[in-house]
Chain A
Amino acid sequence: MSRTVRAAAFWAAVGLSLALAPANAQEEAPVGETLYLHAQTLHTGRVVLHDAVLVIRGGKVVQTLPVDEVPAGAKVLRRAVVAPGFVLTELRAGFRRTEESLGARYLAIDGFDPHSQGHSLLSSGITTAFLHPGSRGLASGQGAVVKLGGPAAGRVLRSRAELCLNAGSGGMGAPYKFKIPFPSSSDVPILPAIPQRPLGRSGIVPEIAAKLRAALAYSRARQGPAATRPELDPNLAALAEAVLDGRLRFEANRVDELKGLIRLLRELGLEPVISGGLESYKVLEDLAGLGSGVIYRLPYGISSRRDRGERRLTLQPRWDTPRRLAQAGVPFAFAPPSGEAKNIRLAAALSVRGGLSRSAALAAITRQAAQLLGVGERVGHLGRGADADFVVLSGDPLATSTQVRETWISGQLVFDARAPLKGKRPPRALVVRAGLIVTGAGPVIRNGAVLVIDGQIAAVGSSVPVPRGARVVDAGPDAVVTAGFVDGYGHLGLQGGGGRELERAPLSKLIGSDRSSTRRVARAGVTTVVLGARSISRGGGRLGAIKTLGTPDLQDDLRRGFLLKEVVASAIDLSREDPLGKSPKALQAKLAAAKRAVAAWAKYRKALAKWKGEQAKKKAKARADLVKKRRPRAKKDSKKADEAKKKADEAKKKADAAKKKGPEKKGDPKKKPKKKFDPISGTWEFTMSGGPLPEPREGGQMLLKLEPDGKTITGVAKPPGGLGDDAPITGTLDGKEIELNLEVDSPFGKPKIKATLDGEDHFTGKLLLGPLSLDVDATRIERSVPVIKIEIRRGKSKDGRPEPPTAAPALDGFRLALEGKAPLLVRVAHPRVALAILKLAKAYKIRVVFVEFADADLIADEIKAAGAGVLVRPEASVVRGGRRVNMAADLAARGIPFAFMSQSGDGAEWLPLRAIGAVADGLDPGAALGALTINSARMLGISDRVGSLEVGKDGDLLIFNGAPLEATTRLERVFVRGREVPAEKE
């Protein structure tokens, strides 16, 4: 058997084993199980069926059935649009360039990894591809047809596909070739490099002709006797083989290349595939006569960074070439331009512009492409017996907005657009489309959409991007979307009156767990509630803000939790202020205190910045010193160091032992040894019992120290269980009597311990606290003199770090107001007081919001001038001119800014309805909507987060089926931070 034949047989065997390896050779394909895929639209590659069921078994298409013929109980998948997997006619394998111009012996399949999964092109619906060996040199190698996913065993369709020859400009310019003789010696010179032809454009086709003829001659001559037998040339052998098998593919674009090539092919009787074919419309007749297919490279890229259409030569791309090829009867398929494979569907759709039918355009990336690659039996269509390679699309295959949802190969799902990404939490995306978007800022948007990512609005407009895996809510053309409503002042979920507690505990601790009422409020459209005490305190109180959906546990995560802001503003009730008084004293006092606090904080911040700067300088210096010191130390004798270490160890051991034995030995080397017995110094553990305590409290600790005078005691008390702050202790020792004063604030004054030493390490006595008296029993557990560290809040800590000013939660709201970050809510009754407040506010530069100020009309101009506003209940009414009118309507009519509040707990649920009532009472619906959304948010200083549909704000959306504040309109859905509020259970 001749070598060539044997080699051919071998590689045929390899190809066969690769291509037709039994399904169980490497990975089990799902055999036996039948899959029924019900598609609304099924493109089989030949026809388009509606409501058809594709039956898949063992990775193959068995048949298509009408819906009613599916056996009962069968597992049926329902999908929208199903089309054959797209066939890519050119996927550059991208292997390294070789020196040979005629590199026919290289195989693209060698670079293919059948075990690799998750090819990026699967997301474009491409299931099969021709691995192209590249277009450098006359012949770059032999391609292969493979699948991009699925079971490894069935992934190679053709291991030795077309040999790719280059009749275009790429065929030129191969590097010079030189051969190093073996064995090389001084007798055997290294010859100069030989140029590889062709060297110019005109030489390309003749060179191809020469090579083809040479290859055929070579394969004949190799059969001959040794004398005439040519030297082994794997490239010529591979070329001859490809010619004899008819596996050739020529790249040609320009009309001259095409013409010369066609002439040559006709002469040799070859029918290869021609790829590129940019100007093939000029040689249609010749092509039709030749009988070869054309892989037409679509002329433009969609995402190309630079203009790839013109390189060195300017050729006119024409969209009508595919149509003309079709009319001339030339079989053709599409190849996307380089780097554009992911847009293959879109590129094919562009050819419809040139007059090609939609079905032909689709076929050019499916059935026709598969046929030109020689795998038309198995892929590119979904007929009986074909491989179950298909894509699930969201719409028509050639429609621009259509997305690839799933890609299947051999009956296996290999790409799923909705599959969540593991490892990293995918962003939670929501898109709401509606006929009308009332943003609350700027004009309304007709037929627009809102994109919410992770609870935050990412885009608003007439069209927004739809991220992968996003939830899309299409509310319909009649729907109206507004921002969630803001309750300007309520007590939703607040436990207790919320007076002083609101100032001490964080909001999350004060909100009860009655989720159902909160949910009812959310369902009514109120997504944010500004939370305040049930009755506004006369001394002033602060307000927080919460969302009506979320969990208190996540309060730290501001984008997911319940909490919107811990401190929004502060409110003060001055309705009982004497209208004849000069100025509201309570408010003035608060503001003055707040101003001091602001000043203290400013000072602290400044000091801190200074301290940090110094600290940094010190550190840098210390580091520099250390570097200097280290060098000589490293040179020290290690023995000496060892000895020193030993000594230190011994000293330490001794010290430890000494500690255990007692304090008569020196506890701290710095301290002088005390000869006299010290009955006090040390660590004491004490137990409190009796009095109001139901059970004794154990585990409290005191560190006490007897000063050298033998009488004064200083120390610190650590309360049991580590609760509370350390309390400094001062006291006296008189013989055996001990008196200790604890510096702790309590409602009854400062506690005092009076006790008697009844042993060396024990005392008992009483703790006196106002009217209370507790028994105290203390035991000394450690005699060493403790280092007493009493933490004094003000002043400087050990490292000189400045201490922050005392926290005064009650002043937080006022402080924010003074800093211009929040308004001040004031309940007033008399216009005179209101004027005084406005004056004061002007002096302090704060913004005032009046709460239900009935006589606002009397000082309307002043209110407007000061930029103040009024918070009203929608149902509140005032008497004007003997008639009872809606207060909001009245304010609106006078041009005073106002916003709505519920001033109730779960009564916030009725806020929108009452706003409708206000509209019925004559309030403008637009003003009412504003008072529920943006005005409310602005007035309370939370418009950076809520109140309108703007990028960066919370994704609180309400979907109405009509005009928002219309009695007949239904609120369809509510989203709080992009999460839907569950509908009421029926």
Chain B
Amino acid sequence: MSKLTIREVCAGALSLVGLLLLAAPAAAETVVLKGATIVFSDGKTPLKGGVILIEDGKIKAVGKLKGRNPIKIPYDAKVINVEGKTVFPGMVLAHTSQGLDRPNESVPVGPYLDVFDSIDPSKLFFESSLRDGVTSIHVIQGNDCLVAGLGRVVRPFGMTVDAMTSRAASAIKISVAGKRGYDRVRQRANLRAVFDDLEDYLEGLAEKRYAETEKEAEREVTVSPAKARELGKKLISDKDLDDKHRNLYRLVNGRLDAYVYVDRAQDAIFAVELAKAHGFLKRTTFVLGVETFKAVKVFQAAKRPVILSSSLDYRETDRLTGEETKTFVPKVFADAKVRFALLPGTQATSRWLWYQAARCVSEGISRGQALSAITSTPAELCGLGKRAGRIRAGYDADLLVLSGDPLELTTQVEQVLVEGRVVYDRSKDWRLRKLTSGVSKGDKKADGKKADGKKADGKKADGKKADGKKADGKKADGKKADGKKADGKGKPKKNEGGK
């Protein structure tokens, strides 16, 4: 009974997921993607008629069937013919607080929190991520905190958080921007207090541990308290720490990555200096607000990558002269040679990562830089540097089968492979079909292929009306409309109207 209820609640996601889980191979399987144009994330020349050999969910080899190093297809391989299609690495979402039942925005200092407890695998967000071609998602909570807890990298596929996880404890979030109700003075004073408190706690603990060790060795403590604190520091192990300080301790000890949220340019120096002073700058990724580009040189000097705000344009009016200036933010970072990852926005178009990358290309950023900003760079920033974001031997086989170039507006995600398994197939996308056509049976071909998922949401209302009006629209729409009419509803075709 309960199973049935769940299925009813999130029918689309779970039926799809459940089906595929059943179909998933239990043991090692060899999969070959054959005949596609392979587009690489670093922008190098695409490989036409390429073959990708996948073993145990990892890419074994990338090449061609003929030529210098031909790939031999093993006899037992499951061959997926993707001729005429484009294969592109699964895109990586570097920073999001979606997929949680609710992000923490109320506990100002919560280093003991972990998104593990809050990720909800049944969220539609994961399903639509898959549909949009995102295969790795870094879920890390809100910027409206001081220290917001641990994040986690998940794949948008799986029944449980554990099954989805590709990297736990990915990073801890620190925000130097003003929490709601705090001004910067208070925010920073309290942030300093967090680390002062940690330092104080560790000193106390070190002194205690040193005394204990000496006592065990039946020795008297002879050194000064300052010396004892210094010596005792080496004796501290994770189990001595309490929940409140453990993750911070791992952070300052260089065992945990940091995501530092910098809302404004004025926070940049503070953020870098804070990370430097507490020894985690080398493991820090800066998550930026849109205006932060003014401090680009600070990040350049810090030699750290950044995650850019989803709004790519910044407009400002000069207070004295009234002159308005517009800045395309990624270009500033590209020119300064600061590596950056892009985030999707909330607008109808900017909610696709590939759209953000395409905008970068249109503003004069190289294709390689733009493509890596949605694949390899965010993968590295989430700690999946050797695993995701590229089509290269040894990497996870998280791949997208596209109908065309990844930055083309008309391109659709046709299939998504996660660890070599097809986890998404547009032709079987139950919800998409429902949304775009309103018809659930018997028109797989007509709808599944023609209905453009990328535009589906915006046009679903029109799709229902689909009348002669649509004839001058896009090809896909026109065909879809025809297909629908051919469906036998008794409506005359539009051309017959005058006869």
Contact = CB atoms under 8 A, between A and B. Distances in A.
A650 B204 CA distance: 88
Given A25-B297, A113-B264, A115-B266, A232 B188 contact: no
B162 interface: no
A106 interface: yes
Interface in B264-301: 264-266, 269-270, 273, 277, 291, 294-295, 297-298, 301
Interface in A624-663: 650, 653, 657
Contacts of B188: 107, 110
Contacts of B203: 3
A115 B317 CA distance: 14
Interface string B157-190: 0000000000000000000000000111111110
Contact of A110 (B184, B277, B319): B184
Contacts of B197: 232
B273 A14 contact: yes
A903 to B, nearest CB: 50
A111 B294 contact: no
Contacts of A152: 265, 294-295
B225 A653 contact: no
A10 interface: yes
B185 A141 contact: yes
Interface stretch (A267-275, A415-423, A595-603, A779-787): A415-423
The contact size tier of chain B is: 35 or more
The contact size tier of chain A is: 35 or more
A26 B336 CA distance: 11
Contact of A225 (B186, B225, B291, B324): B225
Contacts of B321: 419-423
A106 B189 contact: yes
B442 interface: no
A114 B266 contact: yes
B193 A115 contact: no
Interface string A510-534: 0000000000000000000000000
B174 to A, nearest CB: 15
Given A118-B318, A229-B225, A234-B196, A95 B185 contact: yes
A349 interface: no
A96 interface: yes
A18 interface: yes
B185 to A, nearest CB: 4
B269 A226 contact: no
Nearest to A420: B321
Contact of A115 (B204, B265, B320): B265
B323 A223 contact: no
Contacts of A423: 317, 321-324
Chain A interface secondary structure, helix, strand, loop or mixed? loop
Chain B interface secondary structure, helix, strand, loop or mixed? helix
B405 interface: no
A406 to B, nearest CB: 12
B25 interface: no
A290 interface: no
Nearest to B265: A115
Given A95-B185, A114-B266, A226 B196 contact: no
A93 B226 contact: no
B202 to A, nearest CB: 9
Contact of B225 (A25, A122, A226): A226
A497 interface: no
A657 B273 CA distance: 78
B63 to A, nearest CB: 47
Contacts of A304: none
Contacts of A419: 320-321
Contacts of B319: 117-118, 120
A654 to B, nearest CB: 9
B440 to A, nearest CB: 20
Nearest to B294: A115
B41 to A, nearest CB: 32
B184 A111 contact: yes
A740 B242 CA distance: 107
A893 B291 CA distance: 78
B176 to A, nearest CB: 10
A105 B194 CA distance: 13
A47 interface: no
Contacts of A327: none
Interface string A114-155: 111110101000000000010000000100000000001000
B266 A112 contact: yes
Contacts of B184: 95, 110-111
Interface string B203-247: 110011001000000000000011010100000000000000000
Contact of A223 (B199, B226, B301): B226
A422 B189 contact: no
A103 B323 CA distance: 40
A226 B298 contact: no
Contacts of A229: 204, 225
A224 interface: yes
Contacts, number: 124
A670 interface: no
A96 B186 contact: yes
A316 interface: no
Contacts of A2: 226
Contacts of B277: 10, 13-14
Nearest to A18: B269
A3 B322 contact: no
B67 interface: no
Contacts of B270: 14, 110
Nearest to A120: B319
Interface string B59-81: 00000000000000000000000
A108 interface: yes
A17 interface: yes
A424 interface: yes
A96 B182 CA distance: 8
A98 interface: yes
Contacts of A133: 185
A102 to B, nearest CB: 13
A105 B295 contact: no
Nearest to A1: B230
Given A17-B269, A422-B322, A653-B498, A107 B185 contact: yes
B363 interface: no
Contacts of A225: 207, 225, 228
A907 B213 CA distance: 115
B76 to A, nearest CB: 56
A773 to B, nearest CB: 48
Contacts of A223: 225-226
Contacts of A422: 318, 321-323
Contact of B196 (A14, A232, A650): A232
Given A113-B265, A232-B200, A105 B273 contact: no
A226 B208 contact: yes
A7 interface: yes
Nearest to B191: A110
Interface string A1-45: 111001100100110011000001111000000000000000000
Contacts of A118: 318-320
A118 B297 CA distance: 21
A23 B409 CA distance: 44
Contacts of B230: 1
A106 B322 contact: no
A657 B498 CA distance: 9
Contacts of B228: 225
24 contacts: A2-B226, A3-B196, A14-B273, A26-B297, A95-B183, A106-B185, A107-B185, A110-B185, A110-B188, A111-B183, A111-B185, A113-B264, A115-B295, A117-B320, A133-B185, A152-B265, A229-B204, A229-B225, A232-B200, A420-B321, A422-B322, A423-B317, A423-B324, A657-B498
Given A3-B196, A14-B270, 4 more contacts: A13-B273, A107-B189, A118-B319, A415-B320
- Pick the 10 closest A-B CB pairs, nearest first: A118-B319, A423-B322, A113-B266, A232-B200, A110-B188, A225-B225, A10-B277, A95-B185, A118-B320, A115-B265
